[in-house]
C-alpha cells in the first residue's frame, strides 16, 4: 500500500514482524551484556518512542528509563545543527547507560549524544540504533548494536516522520523513488508503433498502454468511462482529453509494481502531452524518452496500401484518405517533436527496415537512458 505524506509517496519497506524480531534480538543482546547490572536506558525523542516501547517489553531484567529530546531534521533534510530540546533529568553518574536511537545516518546527532554523556561521567555508554545508513555515515563514533543496515533512502513510520507525519505508522515505509522507464512511442500512420511496442514491452518488462485498446476495453466492459466516451462518440463528437487521461490514470493505478509504461497513441497533441506530464509528476513519475519512428511519407503510404489489401481495412486501401491522415498527423502531432525536443527527451529512430532492425535501433536508444 502506497502512503502519501504531504507531497511525497512512500512504499512498504519493513513489516511489523521484521521489526519485532529484530527488536527482540537487540533486547536479548543487551540483557546478556548487562548480566546483573541495572542499566539506564536513555531514549532519544521524538523518533525512538515506538522502538523504545517495544524494546522495554522485550527486555526481561531490571532497568531504568529516561528521555532526551534532540532534533536535527527539517522536512527530509538534516540541518547539521543538533538541538537539545529536552535535557536529561536523571543522574547517570557512574551508571551503565544504554542509548536507544531510532536511526543513525550522518552521525551528527550521535556526536551530540557522545558530548552529553562525556560530561555525565557515566560508568559505560552503549549505543543501540534500530536503523543505520552506512552510506550516509560521516563520523567515527562507535555504534555498538545495530538492528537494520539500510540504503541511504528516506524512511518513515514506527516513530520516524516526514514533517511530523507518519510517526504512527506501525511499519516502515521508504520514499518511493522512480526506478521505472516510461516511454512515448509515436510516428506517422504505418510507421509500426504497435508492432514495436509489443517487442519493447516484452524485452523491458513494461506495460503497453494503447489508447485504442483502452477505449475498446472500457466500451466493451461498459465501465463508467467507457459509457461516457460512447456518449460522445454516439453524437459524433470527439472524446475530450480529460476522459482519455482518466482512462490512462486508471491503467497506471492498476499496475503499481510496473517497471514502466509505453504510451502508444497518446499523447497526440501538446495539451495532451502537458496533461500527461502533470499527471505523472503528481505520482513522482516522468516521461524518460519519446521515441519517434521516422519514415518517408511515400514509403509509408505504399506500406499502408499493401497492408490494406491483406487486412481488408478500407481506410488503408484508399490512398487519398491515407494522405488526409498524414495531413492531420502533421497538423496535430508533429508539434510534439518540438515539445519533447525542448525537454531533451526526443529520440528519432529510422523506421525503415525489417522489424528486427528497427527493434534493435529502438533498444539502443532505450539502453542509453
Is residue 318 a known part of a binding site?
Answer: no
Q: Does 238 belong to an annotated binding site?
A: yes
126 annotated to bind ligand? no
Q: Is 313 annotated as a binding residue?
A: yes
- Would residue 307 show up in a list of annotated catalytic residues for this protein? yes
The β-bridge partners of 148 are 131
How many Cβ atoms sit within 10 Å of the Cβ of residue 252?
19
Kindly state the cell numbers that stand for 87: 535535557
Contacts of 364 (CB under 8 A, 6+ apart): none
Q: Is 193 labeled as catalytic in the residue annotation? A: yes
Element (H, E) at 226: helix 224-234
268 marked ligand binding residue: yes
236 is in an annotated binding site: no
- Coil, strand or helix: which one is 220? helix
Catalytic: 268?
A: yes
Q: Which of 193, 201, 303, 347 is catalytic?
A: 193
- Determine whether the annotation assigns residue 194 to a binding site: yes
The answer on whether 191 is annotated among ligand-binding residues is yes
Cα–Cα dist 10/4, whole Å: 6
Q: Are strands 64-74 and 40-45 parallel, antiparallel or unpaired?
A: parallel
Q: Please indicate if the annotation marks 216 as binding a ligand.
A: yes
Residue 265 assigned ligand-binding role: yes
Distance CA 323, CA 140 (A): 71
Nearest to 99 by CA among 141, 145, 149, 42: 42
Whether 192 has a binding-site annotation, put simply, is yes
**Would you state the cell numbers that stand for residue 219, as one nine-digit string?**
466500451
Residue 95, annotated as binding a ligand: no
Ligand-binding annotation for 272, yes or no, is yes
Q: Is the peptide bond before 194 cis (omega within 30 degrees of 0)?
A: no
Is 187 annotated for ligand binding?
Answer: no
Candidate list 69, 153, 268, 283, residue with the active-site label: 268
Report the distance separating Cα 369 and Cα 364, nearest Å.
9
Q: Which of 4, 313, 323, 332 is catalytic?
A: 313
The answer to whether 178 is annotated as binding is no
* Edge-to-edge strands, sheet with 289-294: 207-210, 260-264, 181-187, 289-294, 346-350
Q: Which residue has the cell 552510506?
A: 135
Q: From the candidates 31, 69, 153, 307, which is the catalytic residue?
A: 307
Task: Answer yes or no: are the C-beta atoms of 70 and 78 closer than 8 Å.
Answer: no
Distance CA 349, CA 290 (A): 10
- Is residue 237 annotated as involved in ligand binding? yes
Active site residue 313: yes
* 151 marked among binding-site residues: no
Question: By three-state DSSP, how is residue 217 classified?
Answer: helix
Q: Which residues are annotated as a binding site for AMP?
A: 211, 216, 237-239, 265-268, 272, 313, 325
Which active-site residues does the annotation give?
193, 268, 307, 313, 325
Q: Which residues are annotated as a binding site?
A: 190-195, 211, 216, 237-239, 265-268, 272, 307, 313, 325, 353
Q: Which residues are annotated as a binding site for ATP?
A: 190-195, 307, 353
Amino acid at each position: 500500500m502506497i502512503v502519501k505524506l504531504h507531497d511525497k509517496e512512500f512504499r512498504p519497506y519493513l513489516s511489523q514482524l521484521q521489526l519485532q524480531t529484530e527488536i527482540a534480538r537487540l533486547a536479548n543482546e543487551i540483557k546478556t551484556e548487562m548480566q546483573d547490572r541495572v542499566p539506564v536506558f536513555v531514549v532519544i525523542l521524538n523518533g525512538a518512542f515506538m522502538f523504545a516501547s517495544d524494546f522495554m517489553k522485550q527486555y526481561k531484567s531490571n532497568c531504568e528509563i529516561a528521555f532526551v529530546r534532540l532534533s536535527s531534521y527539517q522536512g527530509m533534510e538534516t540541518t547539521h545543527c543538533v538541538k537539545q530540546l529536552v535535557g536529561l533529568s536523571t543522574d547517570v553518574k557512574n551508571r551503565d547507560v544504554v542509548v536507544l536511537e531510532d536511526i543513525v545516518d550522518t552521525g551528527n546527532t550521535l556526536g551530540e549524544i557522545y558530548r552529553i554523556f562525556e560530561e555525565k561521567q557515566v560508568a559505560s555508554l552503549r549505543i543501540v540504533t534500530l536503523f543505520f545508513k552506512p552510506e550516509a555515515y560521516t563520523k567515527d563514533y562507535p555504534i555498538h548494536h545495530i538492528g537494520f543496515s539500510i540504503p541511504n533512502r528516506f524512511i518513515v513510520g514506527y516513530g520516524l516522520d516526514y514533517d511530523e507525519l507518519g510517526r504512527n505508522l506501525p511499519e516502515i515505509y521508504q520514499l518511493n523513488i522512480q526506478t521505472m522507464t516510461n516511454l512515448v512511442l509515436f510516428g506517422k500512420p504505418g510507421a509500426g508503433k504497435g508492432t514495436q511496442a509489443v517487442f519493447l514491452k516484452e524485452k523491458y518488462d513494461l506495460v503497453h498502454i494503447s489508447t485504442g485498446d483502452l477505449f475498446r476495453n472500457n466500451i466493451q466492459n461498459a465501465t463508467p468511462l467507457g459509457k461516457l466516451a460512447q456518449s460522445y462518440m454516439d453524437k459524433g463528437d470527439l472524446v475530450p482529453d480529460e476522459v482519455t487521461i482518466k482512462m490512462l490514470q486508471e491503467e497506471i493505478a492498476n499496475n503499481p509494481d510496473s517497471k514502466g509504461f509505453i504510451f502508444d497513441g497518446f499523447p497526440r497533441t501538446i495539451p495532451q502531452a502537458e496533461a500527461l506530464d502533470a499527471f505523472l509528476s503528481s505520482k513522482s513519475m516522468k516521461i524518460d524518452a519519446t521515441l519517434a519512428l521516422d519514415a518517408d511519407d511515400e514509403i509509408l503510404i505504399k506500406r499502408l496500401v499493401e497492408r490494406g489489401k491483406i487486412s481488408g481495412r478500407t481506410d488503408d486501401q484508399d490512398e487519398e484518405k491515407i494522405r488526409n491522415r498524414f495531413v492531420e498527423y502533421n497538423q496535430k502531432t508533429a508539434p510534439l517533436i518540438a515539445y519533447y525536443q525542448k525537454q531533451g527527451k526526443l529520440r528519432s529512430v529510422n523506421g525503415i527496415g525489417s522489424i528486427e532492425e528497427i527493434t534493435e535501433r529502438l533498444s539502443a536508444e532505450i539502453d542509453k537512458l
